[in-house]
Amino acid sequence: MKKLITIILVAFSVLSCKKDKSSAYDVVEVFPSSEDLLANFQKALDSGSSHWEAMLNPKAGKTYNLYLQLTKDGKALSLVDLTEESAKKIKAATYRLEGKSTNASLIFSAGTHLDDILHKEGFRNVGADTSYAFEMMKGDTLILRGNRFGDELKLINMKAEVAEKYEAGQLSNAFGNLSEFFDSQRFFYFIAEGNIPVQFIIDPDTRSIRVLYVENKQLKFSTTDYAYGLEKIRLKTPLRIGSQVISDLNFDTEKKSFYLQKNQTTRYDLLGATLPVIPLHIMLGEEVTPILSLPSPIFIEELPGWSTSFLDVWMGATNKLFTERGFYLLVMAFELNTKANTVDLKLYFQRGSSIFLGTFPFSFEKTDAGVYTLKRLPFEAGNTPHANAEFIEASVAGLIGLFPNKQYTIDYYDAGDNVIGQFKSVEQADLYFTGEFGSYFE
C-alpha cells in the first residue's frame, strides 16, 4: 500500500498566479521607454556592475534562479539551479544588446544555461527564451519579457561578495541542504500566528511547496513553485496563510534547518513530526483518499493497532463465513463519500479463484471534533454487491454489528515505516483497529 505521504503528494495540484501584464507589478517609472532602460543597463555594465541574480519564470514552466555575469566585452557566464552540477559549473557564451525604435532587447547566444531549461507545452518540449525585451524597472530590478515565448526574466544587480559565493559553487549547496533536512523527518509543520498548525509539504521532483491549515473548521491550502537560492528557497508566488504572506524559505546555516521569516523580529521554524498536524477527519476526501482497507491478518497481512476485542470479532466472522458459506474473508474496506456523508462498508471474500464483493451501505454524521456516528441504510434492489452482502450477512453479523448507531473517531496511526488510519470506538475503549489508505482491489 502507498504511504500516506505518497497519497498526499499525489493529491497535489499546482496553482500558479498568472500575472502576465505589466499591471501585476508595482512599477517605478524611472525610465519612460525600453531604449532608456537599455541605455541605463549599458551604463551599469560600463560602471562595473556585471554580476546579476536572475529569476526566470517561463510562460508555461516552473521558476529558476540563475547567476549571470555579463561583461563589457559581450561575454555571458551563467549558472542555473536545475541540478547540483548546473548550479556550480559555469557555462560561457556571449550576449548582445540591440536597440530598435519599438523594442530594445538583451540577446543571448547558444551555450548559456538557458539552453538547458526545458518544459512541456502540450506534446513537445519547449526551451526558455534567449532574447528578451526590456519592459520595466521595479526598484533595483529590471524586468524583461521573452520575445518568442513571453518568458519573464528579472535581473537584480548583485554585490561582489554575493557574486563570489555563486562563483564558488555555493548555489549547489541548496540541493543538499534541502534533501538532508526534509529527509530527516516524515512530516513538517510550523506554528503560525494565532497558534495555527500549518502542514508544510515540499516536493523536489515537481519543485513545488504546499501548505495546509484549518480556518473556520475548513481545510485551506496554498501552493507555489520554488527555485533554489543562496541559503534559501525562493518562492515563485508568495504563500498565503490567512492574512500572512511569506515569500522565501530561509536556511539557518548554524542549526541546519529551514524557517520562514515573518518580519525582522519573528520567524516560523519548520518542525519535524512523525504524524501530520492536520486532523485526519479533515483531510479525508480532500488531501487523503477516503478509503481505509483492513486486510485479513490470516490471508494477507497483520496490521498493528488492532485490539484483542476487535480481532476476536474478526476471527469469529472469518470462521463462520467459511463454515457456513465456504468463503474466505479477505478484506473489509470503508469507503467514505465525504460530500454525501455516506459510507460503503465493503467485504471482499473468496472461493477458489473467484473474489466477490459484498457492500453494506451506511450514512454518517460527523461532529466538529471528528466523531462519526454510523447508521445502516437499506440494500438496493438489483444492486449485485448489496445482494452479495445480504447473502453473507448472517455469517458476518458480529462484525457488521459493531457499526450501526455506534460512534467512532478516525485518526492517524504510526505503523513504523508507514502511516495508516485507526478507528477507535467512543463507547468501548478496548475496541479499535487500523486500516491501510486505499483499496486492495480497485
Q: What is the pLDDT along the chain (442 residues), one digit of tens a residue?
A: 333 333 333 333 322 333 343 334 444 444 457 777 777 777 767 766 789 999 999 987 899 999 999 998 899 999 999 999 999 999 999 999 988 766 789 999 999 999 999 887 777 788 899 999 988 887 778 899 999 999 999 999 898 999 999 999 999 999 999 999 999 999 999 998 888 999 999 999 999 999 999 998 999 999 999 999 999 999 999 888 877 888 899 999 999 999 998 888 889 999 999 999 999 999 999 999 999 999 999 999 999 999 999 999 999 999 999 999 999 999 999 999 999 999 999 999 999 999 999 999 999 999 999 999 999 999 999 999 999 999 999 999 999 999 999 999 999 999 998 999 999 999 999 999 999 999 999 7
DSSP helix/strand/coil, 75 = strand
Confidence (pTM): 0.82
Nearest to 165 by CA among 229, 91, 112: 229
- Whether 402 contacts 431, CB under 8 Å: yes
Residues facing residue 236 across a β-bridge: none
- Residues 105 and 93: their CA atoms lie apart, in Å, by 17
Handedness of CA 263, 194, 257, 11 (dihedral sign): negative
Nearest to 345 by CA among 335, 357, 356, 330: 335
- Whether 347 contacts 295, CB under 8 Å: no
